[in-house]
Structure 1
């Protein structure tokens, strides 16, 4: 069996070439764009890895294409985080686990945020629980890794640009390897 680093790279390379939901980019393009934004922001290898792998739940789960449009939350973030937590530190898995709730938080914290979401993100937001109440938003942002999840969410939203040039997947292998090395 290949090691986890090879497994991650293969998942992204093969399954990641598929279309990313209702967006105009593939899952791999989305992952690479998100990781690029994290790297350009000076993030740690763990947060760059979380950005690269935040949607891996779509690839390791049972297939959730089109479920949001049917009103079903596939909980890809929980699938991804649980899978990642077996191999990576919490600094990778937890921002991934929280990136959907970060969208719910941002919609409450920044009223204009919702208007900037893609239609696919607006559709999925409704099945993911909708906009947080004030109390839910306060509880969310007080959690460990919440700030990282908010940054990841912003990069996630920006990572949907067709034909945007990014480093290739092989470039990010070193960041993933560094993050794997942080497992205690």
Structure 2
């Protein structure tokens, strides 16, 4: 089982060190976007695991060495895969899988929901092209069959709305205090079962 104190320190190090960089082409930074995402997830009454996934869904942008805006350079940083791999070493699938699938959820929604793609921000449109564009019907069916697809869709909708540079949110420490013990306690209970 992961030590929650050490994990909290690691997350604080990442988000307080790298989180000040711009979130795409928006007038907010990665930390603000993460906190808004977690705030929205909590306001919807979602599980601590999904609140934590919302908080950490873009951690992949902060654990690579491709710079702070690789999409503008025509590079897909595969942040969902990097973030999911990072999270899977520390958390149960209820946290890591929605992170892994949140880009696929964007592709799914672009293919299936009228107006979704047109409402994407400029940087989301840039990254969508690099990520494979809207899903084909076969990809849509395969995506929906995945165990955490619905959580990923929920996370993606939260992600799209968490872009207000003036939003007031709880602090990173408040979310870590609330969520880590609940999620790691669940993880420990599952391992003992």
TM-score (norm 2): 0.91
Say which is worse superposed, 56-65 or 131-140, in terms of deviation: 56-65
Size of the alignment, in residue pairs? 184
Alpha-carbon distance between aligned partners in 1 of 2:183 and 2:20, rounded to the nearest angstrom: 23
Matched residue, 1:172: 175
Matched residue, 1:22: 25
Deviations 1:105-161 (A, max 9, x none): 001110211111111111110001110011111110111000000000000000111
Matched residue, 1:181: 185
Alpha-carbon distance between aligned partners in 1 of 2:133 and 2:18, rounded to the nearest angstrom: 29
- SS at 2:186's partner residue? coil
Matched residue, 1:126: 129
Alpha-carbon distance between aligned partners in 2 of 1:141 and 1:101, rounded to the nearest angstrom: 10
Alpha-carbon distance between aligned partners in 1 of 2:183 and 2:8, rounded to the nearest angstrom: 10
- SS at 1:137's partner residue? helix
Do the aligned residues in 2 keep the contact of 1:105 with 1:132 (CA within 8 Å)? yes
Cα distance, 1:64–1:97 mapped onto 2, change above 3 Å = farther
Say which is worse superposed, 80-89 or 60-69, in terms of deviation: 60-69
State whether structure 2 residue 56 is matched by structure 1 residue 61.
Answer: no
Do the aligned residues in 1 keep the contact of 2:18 with 2:62 (CA within 8 Å)? yes
Q: Structure 1 stretches (4+) deviating beyond 6 angstroms?
A: none
Do the aligned residues in 2 keep the contact of 1:5 with 1:177 (CA within 8 Å)? no
**Higher-Rg member (1/2):** 2
Alpha-carbon distance between aligned partners in 2 of 1:181 and 1:91, rounded to the nearest angstrom: 13
Alpha-carbon distance between aligned partners in 2 of 1:108 and 1:12, rounded to the nearest angstrom: 32
> What runs of 5+ residues in structure 2 fail to find an aligned partner?
none
State whether structure 2 residue 88 is matched by structure 1 residue 79.
Answer: no
Residue 53 of structure 1, CA deviation: 0.2
Alpha-carbon distance between aligned partners in 2 of 1:19 and 1:177, rounded to the nearest angstrom: 30
